[in-house]
Structure formats: C-alpha cells, structure tokens
Amino acid sequence: MYERAIVRPPGSTFPDGLTTIDLGRPDLAGARRQHQAYCAALEGCGLSLIRLPEDDRYPDSTFVEDTALLVGGRAILTRPGAPSRAGEVESIRETLCALFEKLDPIEEPGTVDGGDICEAGERVLIGISQRTNEEGARQLAALLAEEGLEPRSLDIRGRDEILHLKSGLSYVGRGKILAIEALAGHPALRDFELLRVPASEAYAANAILVNGRLLIPAGFLHTESTLRYAGFDVLPLEMSEFRKMDGGLSCLSLRF
C-alpha cells in the first residue's frame, strides 16, 4: 500500500524533451491537463502528493521516476543515461533528503534510469538498456540485495520497440506481469503468470497498481478487457501527450 507520491508537472520546455518515436510534437496544454488528471487519480487512490515545481531547465523532468528508486527506508539516486537529464537527480535530492534517512547514489561509470526498474514483490527486474548499463545494474543489484530483495537482469538492448524495461512490462500484483510478446518468454519472468499485450497495444504494457486500482493508458481495449476479465479494478487515463515523449504512467511519479 502506498501513502505518498512525488510528482512534477511538465514545464514550458516539455515539448523539447527527448523522444525516440515520431508521433508529433506534444501539446503542452494537453500534457498539463493529463498530468492534472493523473494526480487526481493518485489522490483518488488514497495518496497524498508532494508536488515539485516545474523545472524548465530539464524538459524531461516531469518523468520523476527516472531519478530515484524508493525501497525500504532508503532512496537510491539513479544516474540517468541521457546526459541532458543528469541535473534532474540533483533537482530532487533535497526533497528526498527530507523524506529518507539514507540516500545511495549510482556512481560513474554506472548509469541507471528508473524506468528500467520493475519492483515485483520480493524480486526486482532490472533492464539493461540504452539508458541503463551493466555497471549501473551491478551497483543497483548490490543495493537491492542489502534490502533482502532478489535482483534479476534482462538485457533489452536489442529490443528497438521499447526504450525502458517498463515500456514493455509491468508488475500488476498477485504474481502477475503484464508484458509485450517480445519479453514474454524471457527466463527472468519464469516465476510469474503473464498477461500478454498484443503488439498493436504495446504502449498499454506500462501500468501501475495503486492501492488496489490498476491505472492503465486509455484507448487500448483489448488489454483493458484482459485485465478486467482477470479481476482488476481498472482506471484508464489519457496519456497521449506523454506517449509522444516516450513517457508512461509509471514515469510520472515516485510512489512510496
């Protein structure tokens, strides 16, 4: 059960952020409306929000998930793989210092993006990607082991259809993982029951379970039907403007 979440609205430079897909330039006003609806959904799930101010220095700073992993009583500060995002970690450090007694950084030459970390009960899946390298994954695994968790790595560098691990899968509780077909056969997922997302709805693989409700991107009816049939309390949210910037539901908050 989560009690709180850290969020940051998209700033005026959001449309200038990084993206690997060509879905058009995001509409800033639309992104802000969608972010407000996202925050309202988190509050509706019982979370109190820590709202950080817009930070126009970093166009991608609304994707706060990439800056840290909050686990146990500690915050692990990541080291994003894109040089333009390096300052985002420092911009959130003071907030995390006020909330957690222990902060552990990923150190050079390691790189880690939070979007490559999927907490799945006592296991934590770590994607080795274009943004998270092997050294970063090694450092992260050592810190997770100190918390009694089992880290498992998945190399997704050959998967051009996804930027981060959680672009292609999500842990949705009850031992179940929502995953695209390209990841479904990976041995690191052997202990989980898989709910498969068709290629035409791959974006729907990024979902977040918040205090019993499963937030999913709106407009992916096959995946929504699969989840409802499996017994999930599903809440679809519009995410079109964040999708244009490689962002998903998990990216927009740090929940703890």
77-118 residue pLDDT tens: 999 999 999 999 999 999 999 999 999 999 999 999 999 999
Instruction: Say how many C-beta atoms besides its own lie within 10 A of residue 199's C-beta.
Output: 9
- CATH number for position 179: 3.75.10.10
With left for phi above 0 and alpha for psi between -120 and 50, is residue 24 left, alpha or beta?
A: left
Contact 179, 152 (CB under 8 A): no
pTM for the predicted model, two decimal places: 0.97
The residue assigned the tokens 């907030």 is 95
Q: Please give the residue range of the domain that contains residue 243.
A: 4-255
Q: Quick check: is 164 catalytic? A: yes
Helix runs in 159-220, H state only = 181-184
Catalytic residue among 45, 118, 164, 186: 164
122-174 residue pLDDT tens: 999 999 999 999 999 999 999 999 999 999 999 999 898 999 999 999 999 99
Domain count for the chain: 1
Nearest alpha carbon to residue 34 among 244, 218, 239: 239
Residues sharing a CB contact under 8 Å with residue 171, sequence separation 6 or more, in sequence order: 118, 119, 120, 121, 125, 177, 178, 192, 209
Catalytic residue among 39, 45, 118, 251: 251
Q: Quick check: is 45 catalytic? A: no
